[in-house]
Amino acid sequence: MNTRQLLKVSVLTVLASFSFAVSGNAKVNVSPDDYKVVLSLQKVIEAVAEEVRPAVVDITSVTTVKFQHPAIPPEFKDFFREFGFPMPQFPDVPQEFEKKSLGSGFIVKVKDGWAYILTNNHVVDKAKKIKVKLYNGDIYTAKVVGKDPKTDVALIKIKVGNKKVPVVRLGDSDKIKIGEFVIAIGNPYRLDGSVTHGIISAKGRHGLGLNPIENFIQTDAAINPGNSGGPLCDIYGRVIGINTAIVRNAQGLGFAVPINIAKKVMNDLLKYGKVIRGWLGVYIENVSPDVASKFGIKRGVMVTKVMKGSPADKGGLRSGDIIVSYNGKPVKGVSDLQLKVINTKPGEKVKIEIIRDGKRKVLTVKIGQMPQQEMVASALSTLGLSVQKLTPELKEKFGVPKGISGLVVTDVKPGTPADDAGLKVGDIIISAGTEPQNLKPVKDVDEFAKLVEKAKDKGVLLKVYRNGFSFFVVLKVEE
Of 58, 187, 167, the C-alpha closest to 114 is 167
How far is Cα 221 from Cα 231, in angstroms, rounded to an integer?
12
- CA 269 – CA 124 distance, rounded (Å): 16
Q: Does 226 carry a binding-site annotation? A: yes
431 is known as an active-site residue: no
The catalytic residue among 61, 194, 228, 386 is: 228
432, HSE (Cβ side, Cα atoms, 13 Å): 24
Contact 142, 117 (CB under 8 A): yes
Among residues 58, 101, 104, 152, the one annotated as catalytic is: 152
Q: Distance between CA atoms of 38 and 7, rounded to whole angstroms?
A: 10
197 marked ligand binding residue: no
Catalytic residue among 58, 122, 234, 420: 122
Residue 243 is labelled as binding a ligand? no
Q: What is the DSSP letter of 209?
A: S
228 catalytic, yes or no?
Answer: yes
HEC letters along 174-190: HHCCCCCEEEEEECHHH
- The Cα 59–Cα 127 span in angstroms is 11
Note if 411 is an active site residue: no
465 closest CA partner among 439, 424, 422, 427: 427
- The rounded distance, in Å, linking the Cα atoms of 347 and 269 is 19
Burial of residue 234 (CB within 10 Å: 0-12, 13-18, 19+) is: buried
228 is annotated as contributing to ligand binding:
yes
Count how many residues are written for the chain: 479
Do the bridges between strand 301-306 and strand 282-286 make them parallel or antiparallel, or are there none, so unpaired? antiparallel
Judge whether 361 and 317 are in contact, CB under 8 Å.
no
**3-state SS, residue 90:** coil
Could you give the CA distance from residue 346 to residue 280 in angstroms, rounded to a whole number? 10
Please state the φ and ψ torsions of residue 261, each to the nearest 5 degrees: -65, -45
Distance (Å, whole) CA 22 – CA 348: 71
Q: d(Cα 451, Cα 391) in Å, to the nearest integer?
A: 21
Q: Is residue 386 a known part of a binding site?
A: no
Numbered residues of the known binding site for substrate: 122, 152, 226-228
User: Active-site residue numbers?
Assistant: 122, 152, 228
**Residues of the binding site:** 122, 152, 226-228
